[in-house]
Amino acid sequence: MAYAKETYRAELLAAARQLGERCLYSAAKWAAELLVGVEPDAAPVQSAAMDTPSSSSATSAGRLLHLHRSGGSSFRHRPRPGGGISSEAGTPLGGVSYVSTPIPDDDAFDSGGDKYLLAKTYFDCREYRRAAHVLQKQVGRKAVFLRCYALYMAGEKRKEAEMIELEGSLGKSNAVNQELVALEKELSTHRRTGSIDSFGLYLYGIVLRDKGCEDLARTILVESVNSYPWNWSAWSELQSLCTSSDILNNLNLKNNWMKDFFLASAYLELKMHEEALKRYERLMGVFRCSGYIQAQIATVQYSMRDLDEAEMKFEDLLRTDPFRVDSMDIYSNLLYAKESLTALSFLAHRVFLTDKYRPESCCIIANYYSLKGQHEKSVLYFQRALKLNRKYLSAWTLMGHEYVELKNTPAAIDAYRRAVDINPRDFRAWYGLGQIYEMMGMPFYALHYFRKSSYLQPNDARLWIAMAQCYESDPLQMIEEAIKCYERAANSNDTEGIALHRLAKLHGMLGQSEEAAFYYKKDLERMEVEERQGQNFVEALLFLAKHYKSIGRFEEAEHYCTRLLDYTGPEKETAKNMLQGIKRSQSGFPSMDTDHFAL
């Protein structure tokens, strides 16, 4: 049985409702966005739009809803995966079979329905403690969850306030969410007695993460997403806990289609761009109108330096969703890289009007100012972005770049270092640190940072070239190490062709003309393909001509000399002289340098 689009729709619809019901707003938002993103089948099913999942004809027995209710919330007993009756194996995209998960039903209120309603309205008005208070003594799972969640939010709100209140002369004091201990106690009890639903597990997971028990948090979140896969917040929390591909591969996840979203996003984070792109494109087959997937694909393409494609995607996205702020910081980075000032200013204006107090908006404006060359203002906006979100990684790195422009090295180093401490895998910040120290005339010190960055991004030629330049800098003069680095760079798709030229030069300096000729030749070929000409081209020709002449391969030498004649400058004269010399020695006459007679 095909995993029909209607099934997706039904699941997402229920999920959005259930998540919204529990005040998990961003997850509900995500589900709803995706729901709209499903392109309806050609022949619209009559009841597809608004019905409860039970009426969907495509649903399996597992999702039928003749369920008994016990206590407050009502989860069906889940059949074992592979139990056969209800775990239907649909034929999803790409031929992988998904395990479907039954949608739990809890739309109706239990006895405390009125109070729940009141609590939810309080919650909606951000009066968290009041919401929690109303739900005291309610035992239904939904009520318990909302109460705990409200407490958690109250604690977070207080924590944010305290972080500013308690900031001492030695930096932030460790304001913690005061509710964590009590929440953990309660939730773990619920988990032990089995009276916890997947939403409770999600909450338990983030409580554990905040307490620093990352391993347990991961386990709990996996439990949560396995029992209720449509909670995107749980997935993204899980993803933030997967800092390496090993951890990611060792997760014991059920093969729901939501897993694809998770994996794609995790791959993107772990810089496994191809895998991410593959998954997103497959998902695009179903959720054809999803802005989220489009934005993610554009992000991947931007990361893979496929700027034009990515720009088209972003433009598209903005056309359909003009008030979007998510992912727009990436778009602004892209526009920055392409130096399209107008588009960037347009974007900045738009997000500014939409919501100026979003870190992304500040970042976009900062990018705009940076492109304009007004680095002070740019720094100001980056600082604002960081005030809004202290862990905003790319803002730290970009602010570091701005400080570099402002020649404020200590501040730049500080900014980069903070980025690195937030995420030690951010190779850009390591690279930035290296660059600053190199600029300060400390190439040996800088090597440490370049080493770090090239370790994280071993296939990036720019990093290897930077390292090589350190090695060959005047004070260090470690030519052999530089050659090794340039070789790495040349092997990893060096688009600017610096590596080949430098390799040839360095080998020439060391007197290894055989190797030098090899690299000059390669460089020449590259320049021919790219139809670039210039000083390097002439230099390569001259060296090759001289080299072949000296080892007695006159035909090649002649070839290069003739090509040199196309250029003006002193090289032309040299080439002429060499040609004459070659002819003489070929014709058997004793070689005589015409220069002697020239005077």
Partner 1 sequence: MSLFAGVSGGAADAASGVGTGRALLELTPHKMAVCQLVQVFAPPAQAGGDVVPPFPFESLAHHNRLGLFLFTLTRSCEDFLEPPLEEFLRQLKAVDNLANGWFCEQLTSSLSALNSPDDLFNFFDKLRGVLTAPEGASAEDVFLDPNSQLGVFLRCCILAFNSMTFEGVCHLLADLVMYCNSTDASYDLAEDEDFNSEMGNLMDADIGSQVGIFDKFHQGYASERHMGESSSALTRAPTSTYYFDDANIFKADDNPTCLRSRWQLEAYLNQQADILEKDPGSVPLNSFNATMTQLQTLAPELHRVQFLQYLNALCHDDYVASLDNLHRYFDYSAGMQGLFGRSVSQVQDIVVGKYESALLCLGNLHCYFGHPKKALEAFAEAVRVSQMNNDDSCLAYVLGAISNLLSKIGISNTVGIISSPYSLGTNIGLGTPLSIQQQLLVLLKRSLKRADALKLASLLSFDHLSLAKFDLKHVQRPLVSFGPNASTKLRTCPADVIKNLRLGSLVLTDFGADVLSTSNDNGSFSTSWLRNLSAASDSWRRSSKNTKKLHINDFDDFHYHAQPSPVPAPILQLAGSAYLLRATAWEHYGSAPMVRMNALVYATCFADAASSSELSLAYVKLIQQLAVFKGYSAAFCALKLAEKKFPSSTSLHIQLLGMQILHERALHRGHLKVAQQICDEFGVLSSSVSGVDIELKTEFSVRRARTLLAAKQFSQAAAVASSLFSTCYKYNMQVENASILLLLAEIHKKSDNAVLALPCALASQSFCKSFNLDLLEASATLTLAELWLALGSSHAKKALSLVYQSLPMILGHGGLELRARAHIILAKCHLSDPKFSVLEDPEAVLDPLNQATEDLQALEYHEMAAEAYYLKAMAYNHLGKLDEREEAAARFKDHVTALENPQNEEDSLAY
Q: Which residues bind partner 1 (CB under 8 A)?
A: 161-162, 165-166, 168-174, 383, 409-411, 413-417, 421, 433, 437, 440-445, 448-449, 475-477
- What distance, in Å, lies between the first and last C-alpha atoms of the chain? 94
At which residue do the structure tokens 């054809």 appear? 288
Question: Of 442 and 565, which has the nearer Cβ to partner 1?
Answer: 442
The angle formed by the CA atoms of residues 486, 491 and 496, to the nearest 5 degrees, is 70
**Residues pairing with 91 in the sheet:** 2
Work out the widest C-alpha separation in the chain, in whole angstroms.
Answer: 114
| Distance in Å, CB of 418 to partner 1, minimum | 8
Residue 89, token pair as written in the block: 């194996």
Spatial neighbors of 164 by CB under 8 A, at least 6 apart, are none
Question: Of 85 and 161, which has the nearer Cβ to partner 1?
Answer: 161
Question: Of 226 and 469, which has the nearer Cβ to partner 1?
Answer: 469
Question: Of 114 and 165, which has the nearer Cβ to partner 1?
Answer: 165
Question: Of 172 and 553, which has the nearer Cβ to partner 1?
Answer: 172
| Distance in Å, CB of 412 to partner 1, minimum | 9
| Distance in Å, CB of 470 to partner 1, minimum | 11
CB-based contact 373:337 (threshold 8 Å): no
| Distance in Å, CB of 154 to partner 1, minimum | 16
Question: Of 349 and 387, which has the nearer Cβ to partner 1?
Answer: 387
Question: Of 199 and 437, which has the nearer Cβ to partner 1?
Answer: 437
Residue 451, token pair as written in the block: 């080493």
| Distance in Å, CB of 323 to partner 1, minimum | 32
Question: Of 168 and 322, which has the nearer Cβ to partner 1?
Answer: 168
What does the radius of gyration of the chain's CA atoms come to, in whole angstroms?
A: 32
Q: Phi and psi dihedrals of 2, rounded to 5?
A: -75, 145
The length of the chain is 599
| Distance in Å, CB of 157 to partner 1, minimum | 14
| Distance in Å, CB of 451 to partner 1, minimum | 10
Spatial neighbors of 28 by CB under 8 A, at least 6 apart, are 15, 16, 17, 19, 20
Helix ranges restricted to H, 245-306: 245-249, 257-269, 273-284, 291-303
Question: Of 67 and 380, which has the nearer Cβ to partner 1?
Answer: 380
| Distance in Å, CB of 170 to partner 1, minimum | 4
The angle formed by the CA atoms of residues 264, 270 and 276, to the nearest 5 degrees, is 25
Question: Of 411, 418, 448, whose CA–CA distance to 431 is shortest?
Answer: 448
| Distance in Å, CB of 164 to partner 1, minimum | 9
CB-based contact 140:73 (threshold 8 Å): yes
User: What distance lies between CA 277 and its chain's CA centroid?
Assistant: 12
